[in-house]
Amino acid sequence: MTAPLLKGKRRPRLHADGGFESVEFIQGVLARGLDIVVGVRCSRKLEDGRQVRDLRVRGSLVQPTGLDQPMCVSWVWLYRNTEPEQRFVMSNLDLGGKYLARVGKRRWRIEACFKTVKGRFGLERFAQHSKQGVMRWWCLSGMAFLLCHLQNLDLPVEGAGTWPDWGELARTVRFSFVPEVRRQALQLELDALDAFQHALLAPSK
């Protein structure tokens, strides 16, 4: 599968989150001729006995335990909650501390977008088995996300780094664009409740 990628002019670079920081995965990627940028735990051990969290200079070339080559490590601060979160990123390329941090931060934004689409817009609930079905569900989820994003653009600008309330945005879009769909869904639920209560109260023969 990597052969078509390697035929291009630019060397492919794989981006992965911390769930793929195992030695086996990283070495497997490098063995296939790909570069890697991967998130790492702050407690990842180094050959000199330190942990990743002990590093003080972004872009340090260090030797992680189990790997047979030096890796460049940097970190970013994410301000999504009340307390800033420090996230570490590692690469086999000596990209420099600032650039590697920028690449890592961009990846986490993409990951946050994917988690939002998955958790708020039903991407995790699709049960499609065909390529066409999967693409249709992707389009529906993406359209729902786009509508909420456009709705968010009409709201007053909040503080920098403030994450929108996607649940409230989805509710506003649903009530604004498709109120009849919501009304029919509620009516169906009311009809089902009425039928159930009627069956309970009906005298048995």
pLDDT digits (tens, 9 = 90+) for 34-91: 899 998 999 999 999 999 999 999 999 999 999 988 999 999 887 766 788 888 999 9
- Candidates 9, 16, 66; CA nearest to 36 is 16
Q: Is there a single domain that holds both residue 96 and residue 169?
A: no
| Distance (Å, whole) CA 204 – CA 200 | 9
Among residues 120, 148, 182, the one where a domain terminates is 120
Q: Rounded to two decimals, what is the model's pTM?
A: 0.60
- Candidates 81, 84, 89, 99; CA nearest to 42 is 89
Q: Is there a single domain that holds both residue 99 and residue 136?
A: no
Q: Is there a single domain that holds both residue 91 and residue 8?
A: yes
| Distance (Å, whole) CA 77 – CA 74 | 11
**Domain region containing 203:** 128-205
Residue 111: pLDDT over 80? no
Contacts of 27 (CB under 8 A, 6+ apart): 67, 68
- Total domains present in the chain: 2
Q: Is there a single domain that holds both residue 100 and residue 198?
A: no
- Candidates 32, 16, 41; CA nearest to 91 is 16
Q: Is there a single domain that holds both residue 76 and residue 166?
A: no
Q: Is there a single domain that holds both residue 148 and residue 116?
A: no
Name the 3-class secondary structure at 74: strand
Q: Is there a single domain that holds both residue 84 and residue 143?
A: no
Among residues 60, 90, 120, the one where a domain terminates is 120
Place 202 in a pLDDT band, splitting at 50, 70 and 90.
Answer: confident
Residue 151 confidence (pLDDT): 86
Q: Is there a single domain that holds both residue 106 and residue 48?
A: yes
Q: Is there a single domain that holds both residue 99 and residue 24?
A: yes
Among residues 120, 137, 165, the one where a domain terminates is 120
* Helix then strand then coil, % of the chain, to nearest 5: 50, 15, 35
Question: Dihedral of the CA atoms 159, 168, 155, 178 (nearest 10)?
Answer: 160
Residue 172 confidence (pLDDT): 86
Report the range of poorest mean pLDDT among 20-24, 94-98, 124-128, 163-167: 124-128
Q: Is there a single domain that holds both residue 141 and residue 106?
A: no
Q: Is there a single domain that holds both residue 96 and residue 149?
A: no
Residue 18 · residue 37 · CB < 8 Å: no
Q: Following DSSP, what letter does each residue of 51-89 receive, concatenated?
A: BGGG--STTEEE-BTT-SS-EEEEEEEE-SSSS-EEEEE
pLDDT digits (tens, 9 = 90+) for 127-182: 667 778 778 777 887 888 888 888 888 877 766 556 778 888 888 888 887 788 87
Q: Is there a single domain that holds both residue 77 and residue 154?
A: no
List the beta bridge partners of residue 16: 38
Residue 49 confidence (pLDDT): 92
SS3 of 165-190: the string is CHHHHHHHHHHHHCHHHHHHHHHHHH
Residue 128 confidence (pLDDT): 63
